[in-house]
């Protein structure tokens, strides 16, 4: 069973010590150490030789001989790394390897099966085939995923949400891509992603946030590290766009739009929805305007809204009504006095500067409470000591 490893150690001298470890762990039935060692080996593309033939041989000639003795989720991860080593040039072989292991679904159990199902779905998406089947598998997998608990291993969740965002990237709508991409980021260590994957994901998440219906809380993505991978790249303007939307900064939006006309035109998904995006930044200007004010100071004049959102005075009422219909704010409009009274504003994930501003406001509130406490104490002395 270890003949291949001995031969491979002679063929690839720089990998001999690794193969010797595999033989030692196998001989001593140290399945945990062996599993971790093989997984680490196939996870590093630098270990591939002759295309990916040594990875495939390690899997077919060695791992497959003891695959029932090891943790099945770890086995699934090894199989997926070997399958992924085929790259997009040989998706047929990748699919065949995954399907071969899934034939042992009963032994694999729910976690390993789900993990492999997601790998298979990702392969089908890349092939552009059976997307109806992918949608059905995602629906079934979500039910299984919700039953998994008690483990610190988030690989199944990460794999599920990666598959879901890849599916919605192809099939839409952008808001569902955005939602699943954020979930993927929450379950995935960014260090495990390749540089190219991080860049593409940051670009796609930004475009989905800008163009997606119902996406008005930009703080969710701004709070993640993913946008930083747009720095010093051709898409750096997208990061600036996202920061502008997070704070409802219409001036910044206008400046970026003017400076990045060519880049915006090169993104059809964004360029085709510029009118909608233009509306969104003005709605967010209103939302941020309300959020920045204390609860006791939310009677806002039409003129103030017009200046902040940069809309003509005769369009302020429409903008407010649009915000009310989307439940971005709750309140009422006084058409006679041209004042908007806001009772509630959409909860938000805050950036550092916004958190600091909120802390300052809480400090002011604390001071006012202290002043009121002193006032009440000073004016009730007789009652307190009588």
- Give the residue from 211, 381, 377, 353 showing the smallest Cα distance to 281: 211
Share of the chain above pLDDT 90, in %: 78
Burial class (CB in 10 A: 0-12, 13-18, 19+), 93: middle
Q: Mean pLDDT across the stretch 95-111?
A: 96
Phi first, then psi, for residue 301 (nearest 5°) are: -75, 155
What are the start-end ranges of the E strands in 277-368?
Answer: 299-301, 329-334, 339-345
Dump pLDDT digits (tens) for 265-299: 999 999 999 999 999 999 999 999 999 888 888 99
Per-residue pLDDT, 152: 79
Q: Report domain extents, the chain.
A: 1-90, 112-125+133-139+156-272, 287-349, 354-386
Per-residue model confidence (pLDDT) at position 294: 84
Angle at which helices 72-84 and 105-127 cross, to 10°: 30
| pTM (two decimals) | 0.84
CA distance 21 to 34: 8
**Domain 287-349 architecture:** Orthogonal Bundle (1.10)
Question: Is the pLDDT reported for residue 354 higher than 60?
Answer: no
């Amino acid at each position: 069973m270890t003949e291949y490893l001995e031969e491979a150690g002679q063929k690839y001298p720089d990998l001999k010590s690794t193969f010797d470890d595999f033989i030692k762990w196998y001989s001593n039935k140290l399945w945990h150490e062996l599993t971790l060692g093989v997984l680490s080996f196939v996870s590093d593309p630098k270990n591939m030789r002759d295309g990916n033939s040594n990875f495939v041989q390690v899997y077919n000639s060695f791992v497959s001989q003891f695959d029932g003795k090891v943790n099945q989720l770890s086995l699934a991860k090894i199989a997926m790394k070997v399958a992924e080593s085929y790259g997009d040039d040989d998706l047929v072989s990748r699919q065949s390897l995954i399907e071969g292991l899934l034939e042992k679904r009963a032994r694999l159990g729910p976690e390993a099966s789900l993990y492999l199902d997601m790998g298979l779905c990702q392969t089908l998406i890349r092939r552009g085939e059976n997307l109806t089947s992918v949608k059905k598998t995602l629906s079934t997998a979500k039910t299984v995923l919700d039953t998994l608990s008690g483990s610190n291993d988030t690989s199944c969740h990460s794999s599920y949400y990666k598959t879901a965002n890849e599916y919605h990237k192809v099939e839409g709508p952008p808001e569902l891509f955005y939602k699943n991409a954020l979930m993927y980021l929450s379950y995935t260590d960014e260090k495990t992603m390749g540089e190219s994957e991080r860049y593409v994901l940051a670009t796609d998440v930004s475009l989905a946030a800008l163009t997606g219906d119902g996406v008005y809380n930009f703080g969710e993505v701004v709070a993640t590290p993913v946008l930083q991978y747009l720095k010093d790249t051709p898409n750096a303007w997208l990061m600036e766009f996202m920061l502008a939307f997070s704070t409802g900064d219409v001036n910044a939006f206008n400046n970026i739009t003017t400076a990045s006309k060519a880049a915006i035109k090169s993104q059809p998904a964004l360029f085709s929805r510029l009118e909608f995006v233009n509306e969104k930044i003005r709605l967010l200007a209103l939302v941020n305007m309300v959020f920045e004010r204390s609860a006791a100071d939310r009677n806002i004049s039409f003129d103030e809204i017009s200046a902040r959102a940069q809309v003509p005075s005769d369009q302020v009422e429409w903008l407010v009504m649009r915000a009310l219909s989307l439940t971005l704010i709750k309140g009422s409009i006084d058409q006679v006095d041209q004042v908007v009274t806001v009772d509630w504003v959409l909860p938000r994930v805050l950036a550092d500067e916004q958190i600091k501003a909120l802390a300052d406001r809480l400090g002011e509130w604390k001071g006012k409470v202290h002043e009121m406490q002193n006032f009440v104490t000073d004016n009730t002395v007789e009652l307190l000591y009588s």
